[in-house]
Amino acid sequence: MQTANAHPNRSLTALFLAVAMAVVVGSALAFEHIGGYIPCALCLEQRTPYYIGAPLMLVAALLSRASAPSSAVRVLLAIGGLLMLYGLALGVYHSGVEWHWWDGPASCATAADAVTKDAGSLLGDLSSKKPPSCDAAALRVLGLSFAGWNVLVSAVLAAIAFRSAKAKD
């Protein structure tokens, strides 16, 4: 039975993926809580693969360092790659909604706190604040929205995860 240490770069790759996924979702949270960009429902859904993937890749890195069977680490890396492919698909779907290539979900509204918790001004906030629509990009950087950048990042992270999972021991 071969161990993960037969491929020393696998633990580094898993650690890199864990950190990269945490940075991506941390950036999204920073844009929300520091930058004031209230996410729509599709934006929130795109975070799920990162919430699952970052700790999963950390487990893969720890297992690899602990000389666990390389097959276990490879499976975790492949699952991380699949999570990023799911994130990529969500990003493509959301980008298409933003570019009006297809319709988004009818119930596309935010789950983020868009109104105050102060009971005195609650009625005023309900009439003045509207959740963001999934079909309007909150910000575009170099022509890409957050969803568009998620497509690119997810593709790169998926490729890295799959390459490491496939690498010979």
Ramachandran class of 112: left when φ > 0, alpha when ψ lies in -120 to 50, beta otherwise: beta
CB-based burial label for 120 (10 Å; 0-12, 13-18, 19+): exposed
Cβ-based neighbours of 43, under 8 Å, separated by 6 or more: 28, 94, 132, 134, 146, 147
- HEC profile for 103-167? CCCCCCCCCCCCCCCCHHHHHHHHHHCCCCCCCCCCCCECCECHHHHHHHHHHHHHHHHHHHHHC
| Contact (CB, 8 A) for 7 and 99 | no
Structure tokens at 116: 């105050």
Specify whether the CB–CB gap between 24 and 149 falls below 8 A.
no
CATH for the stretch 4-166: 1.20.1550
pTM, 2 dp: 0.78
User: Which pLDDT tens digits describe the chain residue by residue (169 residues)?
Assistant: 444 345 568 889 999 999 999 999 999 888 888 887 788 888 888 999 999 999 999 999 999 888 878 888 999 999 999 999 999 999 999 888 888 888 777 777 544 444 455 555 655 555 555 567 777 767 676 877 888 889 999 999 999 999 998 987 7
Task: Please give the radius of gyration of the chain, using alpha carbons only, rounded to the nearest integer.
Answer: 19
- Tell me the domain boundaries of the chain: 4-166
